[in-house]
Structures are given as C-alpha cells and as structure tokens.
Amino acid sequence: MTAETAGRTPATATRPTSLLVGAAIAALQGAALVVWGGYDMIAALVGDPIDRGLSVFGGFVILLLGVMPLLAARGLLKLRSWGRSPAVLTSSICLPVAYYMWQSGGV
C-alpha cells in the first residue's frame, strides 16, 4: 500500500431500490413468522391444548422459520450475495400457503 492509496476510502456502495424493497419484504415476513411462532408458544403454555408439547414445538419451529428471512434481509441490506437465496425461498414457500389460506377462508 502506498501513501497515496492509504488515505482513500472505498466508495460507498449504493443499494438499488429493488434490493431495499426485497429486504423490507423479507424482514416483514420474518417478523410476522416470529410473532406468530411466539404467539403459538405462549398460547400453548397458557391455554389448554390437546398436546401441549407438540403445540409448543410447533410454535418454536415457526419461530425458527422466521429467523431465516430476518437474516436474509440483513444480508440483503449489507449487500451480501447469500441473502438472496433465503429471501426468494421464503417468499416461494409463503405465497402458495397464503393463497391457499385466502381461498379456503382459513385466514
């Protein structure tokens, strides 16, 4: 490194708008899953489910599934290439499930 290049700072990478929108959608999906999983776990502990252990485990699994899109959103905001795959995977899983729930009136 020379004295001439030592003082330079790398140019700030600009984030495209589509990347910010994708990160926001992934963060929203992750937050919704985390809240839903937490609610399921608390409802299983406070309520009277048929199988308390299975209900708590189901809520825990949903909570863990919410962590993936949150990490993907963080990766997208930090311009990491690995953040795209979990974000697209989560969206491709959530869209058919949401469509089925909407069509069946199960929302």
Q: What backbone phi and psi angles, to 5 degrees, belong to 16?
A: -65, 155
**pLDDT for 70 beyond 90:** yes
pLDDT in tens, 22-48: 899 999 989 998 999 999 999 999 988
So what's the pLDDT on residue 100?
A: 86
**Confidence band, pLDDT 50/70/90 cuts, at residue 13:** low
Q: Is the pLDDT of residue 95 over 60?
A: yes
Structure tokens at 54: 């299975």
pLDDT attached to residue 8: 45
Q: Find all residues with CB under 8 Å of 4, minimum gap 6, and list them.
A: none
pLDDT of residue 83: 85
d(CA 41, CA 39): 5
Cα torsion angle, 46, 52, 57, 62, sign: negative
pLDDT confidence of residue 9: 44
Q: What's the CA gap between 34 and 29, in Å, rounded?
A: 9
pLDDT at residue 71 tops 90: yes
